């Protein structure tokens, strides 16, 4: 048994995956999936559901509800659009996952207005206010979508300020946020910020296996859903709500993943939410300092750098594939830059159950590589 950064006793092995999802999962969380199967309409499952629902509401800081679905975050992109948008939606695109939400909006046959924001910069309240004001000149806007923490760029946007700007301009416009790579790594007070949909998935800062997705949903989204055409069935919030009131799901749930979720949520609350957020902030600062002291630049805009994933500009011309081959010999890996930034940047995730000693081990291995590498460009 080893002492984790959180101060709790756990059989945590050294971190292997320094990629922005999936993240490593604690052994006892993985083991929870091997428990014998139970009926999904049993009292035992309903008790499990009620327990994790209450914990998730605390983690979202909401008195509303949190829907649990067997899907990824992209599934909830679609759910948000189908339930909350009758006509027009403003999609803010500052990276790959903002772009995906726009593509989902188009795929749901909505009048989707794309607002591009330069990659590696944040979506700011003034940008949202300007775009929303222009759109309102030609009619109502049902919702805006924004990615809180853009996994592809390592940028976190000021979601609280964005929500305030939307409310002041158009109180009827819903605020929908993708918190896939920030949730459980930074505090997101759903009710206090006046959000309407905040979605995430299991495989990032929650440090669970892939396969579950979660979203906090406001009362007014349910009111809007009653008038929204083409909600479908699997992602129909009204359908999910009826089952939620009975501590279950409309379709067969991922019971084994729910058991893993229960164990991991216990770990998260045992660590303490303020302590967990502080650990993520500390690891982000350490990663940024390491990068800058090794002659790299940080790709993400200053003042808006993610607490869960650091995007490092490859100013030293590292062969990222070769670096990962080196790291693999020590059972570690990082991520290349995303899309147009492939090989021009690399991303180091520090989320989930990563602790200080994990980063020391990673940085030592990269430093060893840097001492002998021949740059592809630069230097």
pLDDT tens column, 232-270:
999 999 999 999 999 999 999 999 999 999 999 999 999
> Which of 206, 236, 268 marks a domain boundary?
268
- Residues 304 and 243 grouped into a single domain: no
Q: Give the 3-state secondary structure of the chain.
A: CEECCCCCEECCCCCCEECCCCCCCCHHHHHHCCCCCCCCCCHHHHHHHHHHHHHHHHHHCCCCEEEEEECCHHHHHHHHHHHHCCCEEEEEECCHHHHHHHHHHHHCCCEEEEEECCCCCCCCHHHHHHHHHHHHCCCCCCEEEEECEECCCCEECCHHHHHHHHHHHCCCCEEEEECCCCECCECCCHHHHCCCEEEEECCCCCCCCCCEEEEEECHHHHHHHCCCCCCCCCCCHHHHHHHHCCCCCCCCCCHHHHHHHHHHHHHHHHHCHHHHHHHHHHHHHHHHHHHHHCCCEECCCCCCECCCEEEEECCCCCCHHHHHHHHHCCCCEEEECCHHHECCEEEEECCCCCCHHHHHHHHHHHHHHHCCCCCCCCC
**Residue 373's pLDDT is what?**
78
pLDDT tens column, 191-234:
999 999 999 999 999 999 999 999 999 999 999 999 999 999 99
**Residue 375's pLDDT is what?**
65
- Residues 304 and 360 grouped into a single domain: yes
- The residues of the chain scoring below 50 in pLDDT are 1-9
- Give the structural domain span for 304: 2-26+273-370
Q: Does residue 296 belong to any structural domain of this protein?
A: yes
Residues 6+ apart with CB under 8 A from 170: 132, 136, 140, 141
Pick from 105, 71, 117: nearest CA to 301: 117
- Residues 202 and 258 grouped into a single domain: yes
- Residues 140 and 227 grouped into a single domain: yes
**Residue 11's pLDDT is what?**
79
Q: Does residue 379 belong to any structural domain of this protein?
A: no
**Residue 376's pLDDT is what?**
65
Q: How many CA atoms lie within 13 A of 172 on its CB side?
A: 10
CATH number at residue 277: 3.90.1150.10
- Residues 279 and 179 grouped into a single domain: no
The domain total for the chain is 2
């Amino acid at each position: 048994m080893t002492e984790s950064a959180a101060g709790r006793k756990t059989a945590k092995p050294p971190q292997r995956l320094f990629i922005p999802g999936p993240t490593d999962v604690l052994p006892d969380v993985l083991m929870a999936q091997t428990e014998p199967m139970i009926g999904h309409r049993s009292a035992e499952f309903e008790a499990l559901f009620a327990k994790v629902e209450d914990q998730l509401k605390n983690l979202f800081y909401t008195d509303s509800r949190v829907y649990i679905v067997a899907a990824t975050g992209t599934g909830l992109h679609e759910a948000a659009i189908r339930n909350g948008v009758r006509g027009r939606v403003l999609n803010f695109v500052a990276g790959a996952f903002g772009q995906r939400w726009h593509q989902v909006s188009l795929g749901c046959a909505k009048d989707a207005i794309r607002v591009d924001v330069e990659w590696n910069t944040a979506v700011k309240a003034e940008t949202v206010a300007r775009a929303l004001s222009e759109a309102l000149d030609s009619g109502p806007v049902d919702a805006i979508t924004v990615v809180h923490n853009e996994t592809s760029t390592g940028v976190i946007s000021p979601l609280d300020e964005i929500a305030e700007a939307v409310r002041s301009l158009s109180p009827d416009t819903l605020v929908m946020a993708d918190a896939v790579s920030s949730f459980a790594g930074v505090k997101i007070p759903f009710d206090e910020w006046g959000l309407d949909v905040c979605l995430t998935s299991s495989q990032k800062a929650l440090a669970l296996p892939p396969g579950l997705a979660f979203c906090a949903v406001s009362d007014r989204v349910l009111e809007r859903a009653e008038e929204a055409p083409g909600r479908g069935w699997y992602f129909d919030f009204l359908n999910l709500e009826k089952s939620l009131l009975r501590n279950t799901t409309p379709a067969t749930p991922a019971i084994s993943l729910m058991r893993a979720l229960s164990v991991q949520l216990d770990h998260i609350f045992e660590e303490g939410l303020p302590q967990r957020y502080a650990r993520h902030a500390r690891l982000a600062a350490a990663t940024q300092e390491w990068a800058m002291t090794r002659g790299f630049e940080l790709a993400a805009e200053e003042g808006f750098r993610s607490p869960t994933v650091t995007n490092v500009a490859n100013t030293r011309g590292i062969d990222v594939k070769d670096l990962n081959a080196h790291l693999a010999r020590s059972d570690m890996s990082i991520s290349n830059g995303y899309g147009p930034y492939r090989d021009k940047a690399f991303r180091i995730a520090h989320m989930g159950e990563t602790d200080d000693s994990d980063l020391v081990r990673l940085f030592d291995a990269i430093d060893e590589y840097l001492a002998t590498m021949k740059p592809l460009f630069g230097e």
